[in-house]
């Protein structure tokens, strides 16, 4: 089975969040169970900077879609691509080249907000994906399209009657690829699609909706989130349309790439350790404390870590609002995140107000993320909604107790220790309130004080297996189902 995996982010080439992790590790896991994979993404500046050894080629047939009335013609000069085999895996990586669109410092926005031409940038990407699918030697059976950036691929594939099935995976329904109606004339799509029960959504064009409506099947990244997005409370205005398509929506939980996230082999942390020598984790704590400027006495306190996009979705305001209470419980805090300016400033300010107890890092820093997973005692995720969440799974492997809000993938993967002593693997709270959060952290701190119990629990959670294999098999079965009963 040939799968063309289309994503805007693939680590280590480009990553702003979990999409980058999943698009790096799921293709590898699918490859290991017998699927043949090509991964296609934009040739961003971050990819360019890696100086990979790439073979340039032209994506043929790139112009076909401009034959529709009003379509923006694309010159063959623009329609470039670079291909490469990368690393030890057997995956072919294809990068869509258009320096005007992708050779920028960030993926989606700069200090002035979202890039104004994001609609053009990702419709271009989607056309390139389909042209590659049709004209390259790879001949995919399925195009696996991820998030709104690749939503139009599903519509273009249908328009062209390619016979190639498309799976559209929603990693976060909050990001819908919404653009002004005026963009329509540049998308190379016939007029009949310009209507409310198609890609129009409250007066805008939505690339996400194109993916939902025109794909052969839809998936999302946990079962819990699958159920949630069908409701008005979590559907971000897309719940009605999703309910109409509910019979072809599947929930498949994300996994962890343990070749990247395992303290036994992690090269970015100070001491490697496993459940058999968990005492070595102290070396990572010491290193974290030193490198984040916290005083040596912090070794005696539980360190609460957080790595997050600083967005309302993530409940970061709840952390900010309880920072003093967390310190009063006897804990110290290390925060790594970047996002909305108001939260960037808030966390800088909070660290300034509690010197010696809070260390905040308003950057994107992959190495520090690994150090925090290894060096913290407790990891906190107070998300208002969380499609899957990865850091709670990373925390388990690093013996760092996750404290999470019971929503989406967090609810699916974490079992509360106080509710189930045998199977419990973290602390869970239900309300998105400061009160519920601080009570949950207090429970974790209480447990931390019982050294013997703490060691038993942290050793046990390190042995849990959230690798990709089971989920990759579920994707493979879904692909087979799509091919056996074409839409």
Residues that bind ligand ADP (CB under 6 A): 17-19, 21, 172, 307-309, 336-338, 364-366, 369, 388-391
Q: Which two tokens stand for residue 289?
A: 């404390």
CA atoms of 486 and 195, how far apart (whole Å): 25
The C-alpha R_g of the chain, in whole angstroms, comes to 23
CA atoms of 399 and 183, how far apart (whole Å): 49
Q: In the complex, which residue's CB is closest to ligand ADP?
A: 18
Min separation Cβ 245 and ligand ADP, Å: 23
Strands 92-97 and 200-201: unpaired
Min separation Cβ 407 and ligand ADP, Å: 12
Judged by beta carbon, residue 71 or residue 151, the one nearer ligand ADP is: 151
CA atoms of 82 and 99, how far apart (whole Å): 12
Min separation Cβ 390 and ligand ADP, Å: 4
Phi, psi for residue 320 in degrees, rounded to 5: -60, -40
Q: Are the C-beta atoms of residues 100 and 75 closer than 8 Å to each other?
A: no
CA atoms of 234 and 385, how far apart (whole Å): 8
Judged by beta carbon, residue 71 or residue 408, the one nearer ligand ADP is: 408
Q: Which two tokens stand for residue 24?
A: 């790096």
Q: Are the C-beta atoms of residues 155 and 168 closer than 8 Å to each other?
A: no
Judged by beta carbon, residue 60 or residue 365, the one nearer ligand ADP is: 365
Judged by beta carbon, residue 401 or residue 445, the one nearer ligand ADP is: 401
Min separation Cβ 231 and ligand ADP, Å: 19
CA atoms of 62 and 84, how far apart (whole Å): 20
Judged by beta carbon, residue 255 or residue 337, the one nearer ligand ADP is: 337
Min separation Cβ 73 and ligand ADP, Å: 36
Min separation Cβ 162 and ligand ADP, Å: 30
Judged by beta carbon, residue 172 or residue 332, the one nearer ligand ADP is: 172
Task: Please count the other Cβ atoms lying within 10 Å of the Cβ belonging to residue 294.
Answer: 21
Judged by beta carbon, residue 25 or residue 131, the one nearer ligand ADP is: 25
Which letter does DSSP use for residue 426 in this model? Answer: B
Q: Which two tokens stand for residue 60?
A: 């043929």
Min separation Cβ 292 and ligand ADP, Å: 13
Distance of CA 250 to the CA centre of its chain: 17
Min separation Cβ 193 and ligand ADP, Å: 29
Q: What is the dihedral of CA 185, 190, 192, 197, to 10 degrees?
A: -70
Task: Please count the other Cβ atoms lying within 10 Å of the Cβ belonging to residue 416.
Answer: 20
């Amino acid at each position: 089975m040939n799968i063309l995996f289309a994503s805007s982010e693939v680590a280590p080439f480009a990553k702003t969040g979990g999409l980058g992790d999943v698009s790096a590790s799921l293709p590898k896991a699918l490859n290991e169970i017998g699927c043949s994979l090509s991964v296609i993404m934009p040739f961003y500046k971050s990819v360019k900077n890696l100086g990979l050894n790439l073979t340039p080629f032209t994506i043929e047939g790139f112009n076909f879609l401009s034959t529709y009335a009003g379509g923006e013609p694309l010159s063959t000069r623009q329609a470039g691509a670079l291909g490469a085999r990368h690393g030890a895996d057997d995956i072919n990586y294809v990068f869509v080249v258009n320096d005007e669109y992708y050779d920028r410092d960030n993926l989606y926005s700069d200090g002035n907000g979202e890039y104004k031409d994001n609609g053009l940038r990702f419709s271009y990407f989607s056309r390139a994906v389909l042209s590659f699918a049709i004209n390259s030697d790879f001949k995919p059976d399925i195009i696996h399209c991820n998030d709104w950036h690749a939503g139009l691929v599903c519509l273009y594939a249908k328009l062209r009657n390619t016979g190639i099935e498309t799976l559209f995976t929603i990693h976060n329904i909050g990001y819908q690829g919404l653009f002004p109606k005026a963009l329509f004339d540049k998308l190379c799509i016939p007029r009949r699609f310009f209507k409310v029960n198609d890609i129009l959504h409250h007066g805008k064009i939505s690339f996400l909706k194109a993916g939902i409506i025109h794909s052969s099947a839809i998936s999302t990244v946990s079962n819990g989130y699958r159920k949630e997005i069908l409701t008005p409370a979590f559907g971000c205005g897309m719940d009605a349309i999703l309910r109409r398509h509910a019979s072809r929506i599947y929930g498949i939980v994300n996994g962890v790439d343990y070749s990247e996230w395992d303290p036994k082999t992690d090269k970015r942390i100070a001491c490697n350790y496993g459940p058999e020598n968990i005492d070595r984790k102290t070396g990572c704590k010491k290193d974290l404390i030193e490198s984040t400027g916290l005083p040596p006495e912090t070794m005696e306190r539980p360190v609460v870590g957080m790595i997050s996009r600083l967005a309302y979705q993530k409940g970061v305001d709840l952390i900010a609002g309880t920072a003093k209470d967390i310190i009063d419980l006897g804990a110290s805090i290390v925060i790594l995140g970047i996002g909305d300016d108001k939260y960037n400033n808030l966390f800088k300010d909070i660290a300034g107000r509690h010197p010696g107890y809070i260390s905040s890092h308003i950057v994107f820093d992959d190495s520090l993320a690994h150090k925090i997973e290894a060096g913290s005692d407790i990891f906190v995720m107070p998300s208002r909604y969380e499609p899957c969440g990865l850091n709670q799974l990373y925390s388990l492997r690093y013996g760092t107790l996750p404290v999470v809000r019971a929503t989406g993938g967090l609810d699916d993967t974490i079992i509360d220790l106080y509710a189930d002593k045998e199977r419990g693997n973290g602390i869970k709270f239900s309300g998105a309130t400061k009160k519920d959060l601080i009570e949950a952290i207090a429970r974790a701190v209480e447990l931390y004080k019982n050294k013997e119990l703490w060691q038993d629990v942290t050793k046990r959670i390190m042995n849990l297996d959230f690798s990709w294999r089971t989920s990759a098999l579920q994707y493979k079965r879904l692909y087979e189902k799509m091919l056996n009963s074409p839409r």
